[in-house]
Amino acid sequence: MATMAVRAPTGGAVAATPQRRTLLMVLCAIAVVAVSVDAGVEAALGGNKLLLIVPIGGFVGIGLVALGLVNFENFVLFTIALRSSLDITKPSSGNTGAAGVSAGASSSALDPAGALAILFLLMAFFWFLTRHREGRKSPPASIHRVALVIFCIAGFVSVLDSSDILFSFVSATKVAAVMAMLAVLEVMLVDQAAIRRMIGAIYLSAVVPVGYTMVLVVTHHSQFTSGGFARFEGTFAQPNPFAIYLTMLIVMGVAIFPHLTRRNKILMTALLLCSLVALYSTFTRSAWLAAAVAVLMVAFMGRRRLLIGGLVAAAALSLVLVPTIVQRFADLGQSSSPNGYATNSLVWRFDYWDQVLPLAAKDPITGIGLGMSSFETVQAKEPHNDPLRAYVETGLVGLLAYFLLLISMGMVARHAMRFTKRRRGTYERSIAVGFACCVMAFVVLSLVSNVITQVVVLWYYVAFAAAAYAVTRYRENAVLLGLPPPPEEDDAVSLA
């Protein structure tokens, strides 16, 4: 099953045949139609979606297997483009306020996102097995991949003491799929052309969730109400992961913008503006702040003075022209109501952390099981703090793995920044800057949100991480594959 495209002597991938392009386009069309129909059922009827999910999901799944056998690279790009739109197809999708709580493992078995994770794991396994049997050489694993493997192992170990072994196992399997995605992309992204294709797939993934949100915003059909604010979550299960996803796309989009072709600059401008509206509509304060700070750091690190001035002006105007932004932060000055209840989400987090922390006493070494903190508290919500969640659900083993994961993120970002230090103004430098700023946002959001178990968010984060790792290995990869050294010039990146 040799599924990776054969490379031409010039270092570029051989163009896909018309039949393969046709297959990919048909699959994309089917997936978009399926998600659109499902979204329509959810918004208009609120009916049983299993009648749509099972037959369409099975048909798309067969098509994905066929695509993976024919061209594994296109399979990977398609899954990247598709993953952001899948959560709305969950049988129990819709925000009920119980973040992270579902019907259990039984619902996960009918979850298209979970099915895609398992399918990707299997396809990646056979791809690596085929490469090994054919004697192909692969780039060495990054420290980031090693740390993610360790965290994944900690998740599987935590299953042993879980009160719902199947649910925790499914949760750990989804994290394993993220690890597999990072491993595949670190091998696949051997040159700038491969990075370009992957970046294009990532931003293609935003079309459905952002477009769907814009339609709902225009028609005033809110998906979730909290604290008196109408919030939107696109095709995601909650506003928070949608906001984190948008934050990363906005940060990297701003970073690579100067290197786009004129046509793609227009497309990216429209996508970024719509993404900003969608991010605002999530009313997720932490993501607002993280996005603003990260984009400002992109401007500073990229030495883009015009962008800095634009950001300052935009921030000042938004506070005047969009009063709901100030209103969203206004309740932070109040600690509790006369009845003793928390009046804002920050105070609620502190109170809830006091309830979650004692759960670790059950097994402080390996934890209570991945995903179980939501089921062990009265409020039945996720901890909204990744270090705490790692400790409670995966024990000291998982907590150490989590900190190792954060350290490895910083190491990859630092290496990419140092490697491209003398290549300012290049596409590779912008990838390094964008990823470094995504890491900053990731760490900040990880302290007040649920990031490490939001597989849909990690799916795209590790893609950016693989790109940052790849820009430091062009020459090594060329030697490894027996190809001529890559050119040094920086060409405009295309989203096509």
| Higher local confidence (pLDDT), 73 or 12 | 73
| Higher local confidence (pLDDT), 349 or 140 | 140
DSSP string computed for 325-352: HHHHHHGGG--B-TTS-BSSHHHHHHHH
Q: What's the pLDDT tens digit per position in 336-366?
A: 544 445 556 667 777 788 888 888 888 899 9
Q: What's the pLDDT tens digit per position in 442-489?
A: 999 998 888 887 888 999 999 999 999 999 998 888 887 777 776 654
Q: What's the pLDDT tens digit per position in 278-323?
A: 999 998 888 999 999 999 999 888 777 777 777 667 766 766 667 6
Res. 15: pLDDT tops 50? no
Nearest to 154 by CA among 136, 131, 172: 172
3-state secondary structure of 8: coil
Percent of the chain having pLDDT more than 70? 74
Mean pLDDT of 86-97: 61
CB 368, CB 161: distance < 8 Å: yes
Q: How far is CA 482 from the centre of its chain?
A: 33
Q: Name 381's Cβ contacts closer than 8 Å, sequence gap at least 6.
A: 97, 98, 99, 100, 101, 352, 374
Q: Which range (142-151, 203-212, 277-286, 376-385) has the least confidence?
A: 376-385
CA distance 496 to 493: 9
**pLDDT score of 100:** 45
DSSP string computed for 388-449: HHHHHHHHHHHHHHHHHHHHHHHHHHHHHHHHTTT-TTSHHHHHHHHHHHHHHHHHHHHTTS
| Higher local confidence (pLDDT), 42 or 476 | 476
| Furthest-apart CA atoms within the chain: distance in Å | 73
**pLDDT score of 1:** 40
**pLDDT score of 422:** 82
**pLDDT score of 229:** 76
CA distance 446 to 82: 25
**pLDDT score of 91:** 61
Q: Hey, which residues does 224 pair with through a beta bridge?
A: 231
**pLDDT score of 492:** 42
Instruction: Name the DSSP class of 141.
Output: P
Q: Which pLDDT band holds residue 327 (cuts at 50, 70, 90)?
A: low
Per the confidence metrics, is the pTM higher than 0.85?
Answer: no
Mean pLDDT of 9-36: 51
| Higher local confidence (pLDDT), 345 or 92 | 345
Q: Name 98's Cβ contacts closer than 8 Å, sequence gap at least 6.
A: 374, 379, 380, 381
Res. 495: pLDDT tops 60? no
Q: Which pLDDT band holds residue 167 (cuts at 50, 70, 90)?
A: confident
**pLDDT score of 143:** 93
Res. 53: pLDDT tops 90? no
**pLDDT score of 99:** 45
**pLDDT score of 210:** 95
Report the mean per-residue pLDDT for the chain: 80
Q: What's the pLDDT tens digit per position in 396-427?
A: 999 999 999 999 999 999 999 999 988 888 89
CA distance 267 to 265: 5
The CA R_g of the chain, rounded to the nearest whole Å, is 22
CA distance 432 to 450: 25
291: amino acid identity, one letter: A
CA distance 456 to 446: 15
**pLDDT score of 300:** 86
Mean pLDDT of 5-10: 40
Q: What's the pLDDT tens digit per position in 248-278?
A: 999 999 999 999 999 999 999 999 999 999 9
Q: Which pLDDT band holds residue 12 (cuts at 50, 70, 90)?
A: very low
**pLDDT score of 26:** 56
CA distance 329 to 285: 8
Q: Which range (66-75, 105-114, 165-174, 419-428) has the least confidence?
A: 105-114
